[in-house]
Structure 1
Amino acid sequence: MPRPKQALLSRERIIAAATALIDAEGLAAVSTRRLAAELGVRGPSLYNHFATKDEILDAVADSIAAQVEIGMFATEPWQKALKAWGHSYRTALAAHPNIVPHLAQGPGRRPGALRMADAVYGGLVREGWPPARATHIGALMRYFVAGSALGSFARGFVEDPTFYAEDYPHLTQAHRLPEHQRSVDEGAFTLGLDALIDGLTLTYDQFGYGKNLRR
């Protein structure tokens, strides 16, 4: 029989299948056997593209990190860049919350994640932040964004008004939070990000980190 014109497998197909599986069932659902079944191939076929399951998870995490906008660090003041990056970062993670625990381990050898770290660190140092503080800000943002994307505060309440009525007098409207999930969770993230940047700006101005910059 002639060979198919296109290979049955590619890295892109494997990453897409793994992403869909993680989104639907979580990290624990991923195995080479399960992925092979989803793709309609034999398990050993995957090893032509990825040596281990962890390599697949890294590739999924990196494909999501690559969706985050980072160009603003080359063109915008650090406050504006940090805010835009924070929102882009959260949007990418919130669309795939089940991968967040793996992605939050750090960039490792993942090129997309390393490009993001390089852009953020380089942009902050270029704006006058000391290298140690730039590192702290990058870490702080990762903690903040990952935590925000990992779960929903609003979805943590039950939609039963009688549950709160007697014992929790200050939570009589808490049953309404789930129906306003997006506005609650995004509003909380925006408030926190603005407060974080305001606090960093006070430090930046107090120590005069930007006084010698040439605009």
Structure 2
Amino acid sequence: MARPKTPILNRDAIRAAALVLIDREGLEGLSMRKLAEELDVRAASLYSHYRTKEELLGAVADAVVSGIDVSGFAKEDWREGITRWARSYRVALAAHPNLVPVIAAGPGRREEALRRADAVHGGLVRAGWPPRYATMIGASTKYLVVGAATQSFARGFDADVRVYRDRYPNLSQAHRLPDHAAEIDEASFELALSSFLDGLAPLFERVRVEA
């Protein structure tokens, strides 16, 4: 019997199925055996595409990272670059919260992640930031984004007004926060981002003069 012209499995299909599994069951829910069951194949057939679970996990993380926008840094406009990067970075992490520990740990040797790290650092330096500051700005932006993508301030409060009445008068409206969580979280992220950028502006002028 002739072999099929198109292989039953390919790296893209395996990667996509692994991401679905991670989104549904978390990182601990990903195993080559379980993934093979999802794809209705033998686990051994996965290893011809990805040698280890860790290699597959890195590929999944890289696929998600590939959607993060660093194009703003090409214009040598550091403020525009950080804004696009931070917003798209947050969206990518928020869409796949179970994958955050892998992505947030750093690029390691992942190609797409390294390309974006290179674009961010290079863009900041070309715009006039000294390399040391470019490194710290990259780290600071990451801290802001990861926190915003993985935590919800508004959803941390109880919707029962009785929790706050009498004992916590300054939180008398806290029970309303969960109903507006998405709006509050988005606005809070934008406030933090704009305040961060505004704070960097005078520092940028100072370090340029010192350089």
The two structures have a TM-score, normalised by structure 1, of 0.92
Rounded to whole Å, the distance in 2 between the matches of 1:168 and 1:101 is: 35
- Offset of 1:67 from its aligned partner? 0.2
Give, in whole Å, the separation in 2 of the partners of 1:69 and 1:203. Answer: 25
1: CA distance between counterparts of 2:110 and 2:7? Answer: 25
Helix, strand or coil at the partner of 1:165: coil
Query: In structure 2, what is the equivalent of residue 97 of structure 1?
Result: 97
Q: Deviations over 1:26-49 (max 9, x none)?
A: 111111111111111111111111
Secondary structure of the residue aligned to 2:164 is helix
The whole-number CA distance in structure 1 between the counterparts of 2:3 and 2:158 is 56
Unaligned residue ranges in structure 2 (runs of 5+): none
How far the C-alpha of 1:167 sits from its partner, in A, is: 2.4
Q: Which amino acid aligns with 2:192?
A: G
Deviation, structure 1 residue 128: 1.0
Counterpart residue type for residue 156 of structure 2: G
Cross-structure match for 1:52:
52
Equivalence map 1:17-32=2 (5 Å): 17-32=17-32
Per-residue deviation, 1:92: 1.2
Q: Indicate conservation of the 8 Å contact 1:78/1:123, yes or no.
A: yes
Structure 2 residue aligned with 1:110: 110
Aligned-partner SS, 2:188: helix
Residues in 1 aligned to 2:142 and 2:132: alpha-carbon distance in whole angstroms: 16
Kept in 2, the 8 Å contact 1:98–1:150? The answer is: no
| 1:151-162 map, 5 Å | 151-162=151-162
Number of equivalent positions: 211
Match of 1:63 in 2: 63
* Aligned twin of 1:134: 134
- % identical aligned pairs: 52
Length-normalised TM-score, structure 2 = 0.94
1:43 aligned partner, one-letter code: A
Tell me how far apart the structure 1 counterparts of residues 145 and 74 of structure 2 sit (CA, whole Å): 21
Other-structure match for 2:183: 183
Greater Cα shift, 48-57 or 170-179: 170-179
Q: CA RMSD in A?
A: 1.6
Contact (CA 8 Å) 1:158, 1:178: kept in 2 or not?
yes
Aligned to 1:10: 10
- Are positions 1:41 and 2:47 aligned together? no
**Hey, what's the Cα distance between the residues in 2 that align with 1:123 and 1:95?**
26
Counterpart of 2:165, as a letter, is A
How far has the Cα of 1:81 moved from its partner? 1.5
Q: CA deviation at 1:187?
A: 0.9
Q: Any conservation in 2 of the 1:17–1:39 contact (CA below 8 Å)? A: yes
1:66-118 deviations in Å (ceiling 9; x for gaps): 00111110125111221121111111111111101111111011111111101
d(CA) in 2 for partners of 1:166 and 1:3? 75
- In the alignment, the residues of structure 1 paired with residue 13 and residue 185 of structure 2 have an alpha-carbon distance, to the nearest angstrom, of 32
Q: Deviations over 1:164-188 (max 9, x none)?
A: 2232222222222222121111111
